[in-house]
Structure 1
Amino acid sequence: MTTEDALATVGAVRATGGDASRPWTALASGYEQARAREDSLDRLVEWPAQRELLGDVTGLALLDAGCGNGAKVAQLVQEGAGASVGVDISDGFVVPPTGLELIQGDLSDLSALPGLAGRRFDRIMLLQSFGYARDSVLALTVAREMLTDDGFILLTRTHPVRYAIERAEENGTTLGEEYFSTEPFAYRHRNWDDAVTLTKRPYTIADLLNTFSAAGLWVEAVAEPAMAAEVGERYPHKRAVMNQYLGILLFKLRPLPQRPQ
């Protein structure tokens, strides 16, 4: 990323409140390689928790917005989900099973993507992808309108305390200073590809809840998955990471009831 790119990215983040999506096309392959490792926290902690909240998907229409290579939604289709779609800004997709369509596109306005207009889904997944939307409230509002009557959104984000701890260690500041900071920061994921810089906007738990409310959603359930004891014994280095930096937050979101006119 050039200096001009970095400055433009920071400017975009300031204007929209989201994370920068442009570097993701370069980062995507590194992310998928890291996630496929036996000791990946996604494999050990995150995906099992996400799968539990999704519940039985037999016959359900799924949309994975920011699906990466599409492996997760492909697994769900193989488990019996109905006609489903994965969307990602990169295009390094797996070979989709019958019943799954993988689309290259931006999750910022899903209804604008070819093939999605007018479609409804029983489950919409935003798994660590929501922060890349240009306008977070708009992205969630559009997703909400694409739900079936009994549908819900499964949204996950890195625990904001994790980023605050990392920045406090790097900057020699306090946890509180960094947690409540509003300044965008450059972030490199050493386990994915440390040559790619992402620009992120700090957020608090209150920021997330207020965004959900502004998009007409309420929180039915929240999970903060911890590493199982037996898993921690097999991978003590990963247990140490979670003990120090925490993990992710999972939100099960449903549309707010319509108020009578």
Structure 2
Amino acid sequence: MTHSTADSGDSSRTWEQLSTGFEQARAREDSLDRLVEWPAQRELLGDVTGLAVLDAGCGNGAKVAQLADEGAAACVGVDISGNFIAPPPGVEFIQGDLSDLSVLPGMTGRRFDRVLFLQSFGYATDPVHALRVAASMLTDAGFILLTRTQPVRYAIERAEQNGTSLGQEYFATESFADRHANWDENVTLTKRPYTMSDLLNTFSAAELWIETTVEPQLSAEVAQRYPHKQAVLAKYLGILMFKLRPLPRVSGLRTND
């Protein structure tokens, strides 16, 4: 089943254009998503048998479809591009903005055991609001799995491009234009820079605590097989993964109130 709430705005058109290249890059044998990111994400998710899963910014939906194949009982994928694979049994796709998941069609009152923001969270209009909404949709034992590119990576890239220093770019606050040659070099994305403190403060403002943080790397065997990918990680550091849970409530209040 597929629903659509996307309008004809720039964001929808941009991601529709990028989605094909993104999925092609992710499917390559030497894709860091295939070699590092998805295996680490899958380990953090644990056994999904019988669980309800929401993938916010799911791309074509292949990952959430795999989780359904592995036993997840109710899977929903949301993406603004709308370029989804044919939904297998137990999977529903919604074309829409992940900035407020609660307003999407059919989402009122839904609860999920896992909410995923896999390299998609940075495109939320209001990051704190997006996380608060996602947290409100969790079951009592549920958690959010959020992954983001190590912010130092962007700082290194911009320092190289601009002839500036690492510190200058790491603490920069102005949005910057970014072209992802591995996806579609003809499309330019506008990205907001962020630091580690920005991420941690966002989680705190959304009343979430970090249960686990992972910075996955290539195994020695895979690094030897794909030395060019190991060189990328050695220079740019890779990705951060966070397992986030809502702060517990005491008598209707958060414990830190």
Q: TM-score range by the shorter chain?
A: over 0.9
| TM-score normalised to structure 2 length | 0.92
Is the 1:21–1:133 contact (alpha carbons within 8 Å) kept by the matching residues of 2? no
SS at match of 1:76: helix
Indicate the structure with greater strand content: 2
Q: 1:74 to 1:138 in 2, by over 3 A?
A: same
Instruction: Give the aligned partner of residue 24 of structure 1.
Output: 15
Instruction: Give the aligned partner of residue 215 of structure 1.
Output: 206
Is the 1:222–1:251 contact (alpha carbons within 8 Å) kept by the matching residues of 2? yes
Q: 1:169 aligns with which of 145, 155, 160?
A: 160
**Runs of 4+ off more than 2 Å:** 20-23
Residue by residue over 1:23-71, the C-alpha shift from the partner in whole angstroms, topping out at 9 and shown as x without a partner, is 2221111101100101100000000000000000000000000000000
Sequence identity percentage: 73
* In 2: Cα distance, 1:246 partner to 1:24 partner: 26
RMSD: 1.4
* In 1: Cα distance, 2:176 partner to 2:67 partner: 35
The AA in structure 2 aligned to 1:143 is: A
1:94 aligns with 2:85: yes
1:124 aligns with 2:98: no
In the TM superposition, what are the counterparts of 1:184-195 in structure 2 within 5 Å?
Answer: 184-195=175-186
1:56 aligns with 2:40: no
SS at match of 1:148: strand
Long gaps (5+) in structure 2 = 1-8
| TM-score normalised to structure 1 length | 0.91
The AA in structure 2 aligned to 1:173 is: T
Instruction: Give the aligned partner of residue 134 of structure 1.
Output: 125
* In 1: Cα distance, 2:40 partner to 2:196 partner: 19
* In 1: Cα distance, 2:196 partner to 2:69 partner: 34
Instruction: Give the aligned partner of residue 6 of structure 2.
Output: none
* In 2: Cα distance, 1:187 partner to 1:21 partner: 17
Instruction: Give the aligned partner of residue 17 of structure 1.
Output: none
Instruction: Give the aligned partner of residue 16 of structure 1.
Output: none
Cα deviation, residue 91, structure 1:
1.4
In the TM superposition, what are the counterparts of 1:1-261 in structure 2 within 5 Å?
Answer: 23-260=14-251
